[in-house]
Amino acid sequence: MNFEKIRLEFTHEERAARITLAAPKANILDRLMIRELDAAFSQCASHELNAIILDAEGPHFSFGASVQEHLPHRIAGTLQALHALLRRIFEAPAPVIAAVRGQCLGGGFELALTCDLIICDHTALFASPEIKLGVFAPAASALLPVRCGQALASRLLLTGTPIGAEEATRFGLVAMLADDIDVQLGELLKSDFLSLSPSSLKFACRAVRHPLRRIFEQDLPELEQLYLRDLMTTADAEEGIRAFLEKRAPRWNKPALAEK
């Protein structure tokens, strides 16, 4: 398959795969990129791999999903495609390592959260800003409490404020904070993954992901329905999306209190 918005390469004698978001600087997860990522991870499933690296071109990992594709008449297909991709990553036959530089927002953050490990450099910034658009992040709502605890998850999801690399590492969201991600990845592959049995790693992945299985089989479908059936029927959800696209402040049904 020829890709327009990503790259897929097999390295280290085809024992590792590298999937790169290749639409900088924003690396927006639109339907085409989601479809290509799904195809790339599907190709990886047919190889005996020791690791899969997910990274991005440019200064930022991803600004998230396409806001245009979150309008009411398009959101169902967009959300279902994104969640299908996350389930594909969850079922990957080898450890999946997200390498994050710069901003990692919204759907891009959910993409990284689905990976087994997140490695980042000091420029990394993580956020679920959906609430500022009058919506919420279904996958992050399910994954963040498991990944970093309920307190930080609630702060990220209910305020939309970002956290930096150091704080994310301190809370266990990030596995490794590196001065140079490429150097760190090379050392990690060589020292920790390439010498292992790919067959055994496949079973180890299933075991270590077991606490997340309920999320993808039960919680995420329920939150998807909450989003589509309930949230998207409200005036404020559509208002938030349209306000963002029109580059103006949203006019909520019940305006927030003005700052003193």
pLDDT, tens digit, for every residue of 80-127? 999 999 999 999 999 999 999 999 999 999 999 999 999 999 999 999
DSSP string, 182-201: HHHHHHHIIIIITTS-HHHH
Distance, CA of 151 to CA of 166 (rounded, Å)? 17
Identify the CA nearest to 120 among candidates 196, 200, 61, 79. 61
DSSP string, 140-160: HHHHHHHHH-HHHHHHHHHH-
Look at residue 244 in the predicted model and tell me its pLDDT: 95
Tell me the domains of the chain and their CATH numbers: 6-179 (3.90.226.10)
Look at residue 16 in the predicted model and tell me its pLDDT: 97
Residues with a catalytic annotation lie at 110, 130
Q: Return the higher-pLDDT residue of 49 and 255.
A: 49
Look at residue 64 in the predicted model and tell me its pLDDT: 96
pLDDT tens-digit series, residues 33-58: 999 999 999 999 999 999 999 999 99
pTM, to two decimals:
0.95
Q: Are strands 51-56 and 103-105 parallel, antiparallel or unpaired?
A: unpaired
For residue 208, what is the enclosing H or E element? helix 198-208
pLDDT tens-digit series, residues 126-169: 999 999 999 999 999 999 999 999 999 999 999 999 999 999 99
Question: For the chain, what is the mean pLDDT?
Answer: 95
